[in-house]
Amino acid sequence: MNAHAIQESDAPLPPAQALVLAAGRGERMRPLTDHTPKPLLAVRGQALLAWHLSALAHGGVRHACINTAWLEEQIPARLGHAWQADGRTLALSYSMEGRDFGGALETAGGIARALPQLDEVFWVVAGDVFMPGFAFDPQAMVRFAGSPALAHLWLVPNPPHHPKGDFGLDTQGHALNLPPEHPGPRYTYSTVGLYKRALFRAPLCEIAPGNPQGIKAALGPLLRQAMDRGLVTAEVYGGPWTDVGTPERLALLNGE
């Protein structure tokens, strides 16, 4: 994988087809994150964030927005305003929550903040997970756009540090808001999903587009509301996946 940042272009950008979440403080990764944003920590020779950017470019995504907060000036300084991989160019823009609000807005708050930059259908992926085999398939986006669902999630088998998982999955491919004590199988949200802007509008979400008040809001409660209305679909991803949440997991990925 040979990817590198290139300079900003004066050409107008299309709406972003992906939002890469990179605003978190990374408390569990300290002291590594005291001076480096977690998505810029190196995994197998390149920044965690770079793996996603290259995969998005390979999948035909033309523009990704990256939200930032902790040590956020390092991210555009490192990545620039375009990313090139496999002969394809991914334009980059930023939603700078630290500059605008003094800190991260959590996931739903951050998506609402970036919403004016995003297309009607867009990918979301957290910049601190490692899943090198995942393909951002344009056909998956087309299928989702034509469905009544407002979100489509990729779930993974529960890792040891999250044994109870997040959501269930029925035989029709609907994600289920199951309580932890439910006997049915539950899976962990990989952080990769396809979303429609309508999920982040009333009546499900009361945050104004652009989140001008800087409201902090988690994504889980919003997804559970939508699941209860049958508006979230999902599938299980069986490829390599790591939540790079601790120095030990990072060292393991790097063979240390």
**Cα separation, 128 vs 149, whole angstroms:** 26
Q: Tell me, what DSSP letter sits at residue 85?
A: E
Confirm if 115 and 210 have CB atoms less than 8 A apart. yes
Q: Which of 42, 25, 36, 3 is nearest to 256 (CA)?
A: 42
Q: For residue 157, is the peptide bond before it cis, meaning its omega torsion is within 30 degrees of 0?
A: no
Angle made by CA atoms 79, 115, 48, in degrees to the nearest 5: 30
How far apart CA 27 and CA 240 sit, in angstroms, is 24
Strands 129-130, 82-85: pairing kind: unpaired
Do 204 and 151 contact (CB within 8 A), yes or no?
no
Q: Can you list the domains of the chain with their CATH numbers?
A: 14-253 (3.90.550.10)
pLDDT 10s digit of each residue in the chain, 256 long? 444 444 444 567 789 999 999 998 877 878 878 899 999 999 999 999 999 999 999 999 999 999 999 999 999 999 999 999 988 999 999 999 999 999 999 999 999 999 999 999 999 999 999 999 999 999 999 999 999 999 999 999 999 988 889 999 999 999 999 988 888 899 999 999 999 999 999 999 999 989 999 999 999 999 999 999 999 999 999 999 999 989 899 899 888 6
The DSSP code sequence of 6-28 is E----SPPPPEEEEEEE----GG
Residue 141 φ then ψ, to 5° = -65, -40
Is 98:23 a contact under the CB 8 Å cutoff? yes
Strand-pair partners of 129: 243
